[in-house]
Amino acid sequence: MIERRVCIRVDGGSHSVVWDSVAEETQLELHINGSLLRRASLSPCHIREFVAGHLFSEGYIEALEDIAALHIDVHLANVTLRPACGQKRAEKHTEHSEKTGRLAVRTDDVFRAMRMLLDSDAHRITGGFHRAGVFCEDGTAWMADDIGRHNAMDKAIGHCLLEHIDLSKVFVIMTSRVSSGLALKCSRAGIPILASRGAPTSLAVDIADDAGITLIGFVRGERMNIYTHEERIADLALTGTSK
């Protein structure tokens, strides 16, 4: 995931030729039933998770069982879907209690998860990765690094699918800005809580509010902004705080 490249480093009035660590980027062609779906630029790790998560979060499959076969060969991923699959399903607009479950966390859980997420050698060395972490009720966690924030989210979702983890019982922490696309992925996947070190966009807040997702931004140190559905933050509810 990390490659070395020569660069000229300028420091004040001096400069030198040095080797620098950069994030590796590769191209992947994703084919469904023999037809090209998309060409993706991503980090060359957890490709199976990316494919499964992308197909699920973009609505091409309803469940992992919809995939009859998945073959990955370097820069090519071939997916065969079972009959009656492959049609992009409509976005759900059901009640949030049905859509995203009843998971609740404490503020300390979010701060602890962010500290774990930021403990990334790849990010420290290169500064070129986004990161998404999945945190389960039993305390287990899994992290995905990628050059693209949407790819990192897809890998996190794909990991849960492949490991048969109930997405309505996890919360996701990210390092990046939260755009509408990330909020939609969480909505389609049924993820109840999304928190990030970065800022959300206005449309991401609107989507999260409509979908029943607890959206948290600017998780830094012991600070955070909770934009939607604060009822899932257990200790905040105990204080009687409300918008």
**Catalytic residue positions, numbered:** 85
Output the six-digit token pair for 28: 């992947």
Residue 213: exposure state from Cβ atoms within 10 A (0-12, 13-18, ≥19): buried
Per the DSSP assignment, residues forming a β-bridge with 20 are 5
Terminal CA-to-CA distance of the chain, rounded, Å? 43
Output the six-digit token pair for 105: 């966390």
Amino acid identity of residue 74, one-letter, is V
Using CA atoms, how far apart are residues 166 and 187, in angstroms rounded to an integer? 14
Amino acid identity of residue 171, one-letter, is F
Q: At what angle do helices 180-189 and 47-57 cross, to 10 degrees?
A: 90
